[in-house]
Structure 1
């Protein structure tokens, strides 16, 4: 028997659809911040509940939990920016830069022509940096607005997340409430799986990398460990670009013993991933590596740097919802 769509298209339903469409038009520009806020809220909420058990004030507990979770992330970004600027400054002030100028001066070419080209290039680079700075300042208001929406989203999702779910659940037909509840639990499993199986694994391997590189005497050992942890988040990559780069640097520098040790240490980092990741995520949803790879690579193209987090999560949640629908409505009828 066919479904009479006209019977559902009454004035209240049409008004609701119209208002939802209009609302989505307003929400879409900041949708990435709202999604990220919901994800962070899920991670912050257990911390807020523990603090609230002692303080008894929900708002203060949530704010303290947000500080405890978000401030380390901000400090990490600041540390990475500081170390990158230090590396660039050290390179420009190093003997390598001076040796390069000396080498150029000994070449049988027109030095004046080279200097003119360098000055022209420097002028173009300066214009580009100035234009970039102007564009950045013009976008500062948008960045501030995004951060404000992110903070507000985290706070209210932590405080009223259950109310939001119950509000949505009231619109679900009675015969589909079980599917909705199972989907919500599956989404939670996906979040826990990605957090414990991927983010926490990256943190552990990054700590191992920082300790190992520092003990081996590499400059910026902690920074190299941070980069190792970040690369560990990206499927296919892992820590190998870091330790292979250090290996070849030591080979070219003639430090063969340390080159062999850092290579063995890198193999150790790559190997323990096969044990840490399954041990942490085996109790939750298993996400196929291809889904995570596409999410990590395509997420930044859609949502910018936030896409590194939102991309794999959205694809993982989508896969889980489709899998639940397949089991509930398709395979369940067989």
Structure 2
């Protein structure tokens, strides 16, 4: 029997579709913040539940939980930015200081011509700085709006996430509610798998790296450990760029014993990943490494820095939804 599409496209359905399309056009510019807010809400909610057992008001417990979860992330970004600026400042101070007047006096050129070129260059630089400032202010307003939407999304998803799911579930036909519930459970498994199997693994290896590099006497040992943990998130990298770079630096400096030790330590970091990751994620969904790799690499191209988190999650969730559909409808009767 053929399906009569016209019987489904009645005026109320057409109105709903029209409003959904218009609404999507409005929220699309901030969709990445909403998705990230939903993901962070999944992490904040267990903390809020524990705090709520001791705090009377749910809103207060959610805000406290958001502070507990988000403040470490903000401090991490601030720490990385501070360390990078310190490294750049030290490099400039040690390698690029020279007497500009003496340098110009030794050149066989016309000083007046140089002054004219300098004035022209200064004007161009001033125009560039002005344009950059205006552009930065506009981006700053956008960033402020994104952060505001992110915070609001986390708060309301934690507080009203169950209502949102029930609201969507009411539109699901009765014969598909089982598929909907299984899909939700699969999505939760993906979130647990990626969090425990990848983010928590990166934290553990980053801590090991910070301790090891500090004990070996490297400057910025904690910073190197943070970079090791961040690189561990990207499947194609891992910790090897850090310890190989330190190995070649020590070889160039003639510190051969430490070069051998840091190389062995790096191999240790790469090896324990094969044991920590399966041990943490084996109880949840198994996500193929290629899916995560594509998510990590293509996510930032679509959503910027947020794409490092949203990309693999969306692809992982899409895979589990397809797998759930395959099991429910294609092989459900076998």
Q: TM-score, normalised by structure 2?
A: 0.92
- When residues 48 and 190 of structure 1 are mapped into structure 2, their CA distance, relative to the original with a 3 A threshold, is same
SS at match of 1:284: coil
Correspondence 1:303 to 2:299: no
Quote the residue 2:57 is aligned against. Answer: 57
- The residue correspondences of 1:80-229 to structure 2 (distance < 5 A) are 80-94=80-94, 96-97=95-96, 131-229=131-229
Quote the residue 2:37 is aligned against. Answer: 37
Residue 132 of structure 1, CA deviation: 3.4
More deviation in 129-138 or 322-331? Answer: 129-138
Residue 123 of structure 1, CA deviation: 8.5
- 1:41-82 CA deviation, whole Å, 9 max, x = no partner? 000000000000111311000000000011111111011111
SS at match of 1:54: coil
In the aligned structure 1, how far is the partner of 2:217 from the partner of 2:123? 39
Quote the residue 1:237 is aligned against. Answer: 237
Quote the residue 1:248 is aligned against. Answer: 248
- The residue correspondences of 1:62-77 to structure 2 (distance < 5 A) are 62-77=62-77
Question: Structure 1: 5+ residue runs without aligned partners?
Answer: none
- When residues 141 and 214 of structure 1 are mapped into structure 2, their CA distance, relative to the original with a 3 A threshold, is same
- 1:297-330 CA deviation, whole Å, 9 max, x = no partner? 1101100100000000000000000011111111
Quote the residue 1:79 is aligned against. Answer: 79
In the aligned structure 1, how far is the partner of 2:162 from the partner of 2:298? 31
Quote the residue 2:325 is aligned against. Answer: 325
- When residues 47 and 295 of structure 1 are mapped into structure 2, their CA distance, relative to the original with a 3 A threshold, is same
Quote the residue 1:312 is aligned against. Answer: 312
The list of structure 1 runs, each at least 4 consecutive aligned residues, that deviate by more than 2 angstroms after superposition, is 96-99, 109-113, 118-134
In the aligned structure 2, how far is the partner of 1:111 from the partner of 1:249? 38
Quote the residue 1:280 is aligned against. Answer: 280
- When residues 243 and 133 of structure 1 are mapped into structure 2, their CA distance, relative to the original with a 3 A threshold, is farther
In the aligned structure 2, how far is the partner of 1:12 from the partner of 1:306? 37
In the aligned structure 1, how far is the partner of 2:254 from the partner of 2:121? 35
- When residues 111 and 279 of structure 1 are mapped into structure 2, their CA distance, relative to the original with a 3 A threshold, is farther
In the aligned structure 2, how far is the partner of 1:86 from the partner of 1:200? 28
SS at match of 1:139: helix
Residue 25 of structure 1, CA deviation: 0.7
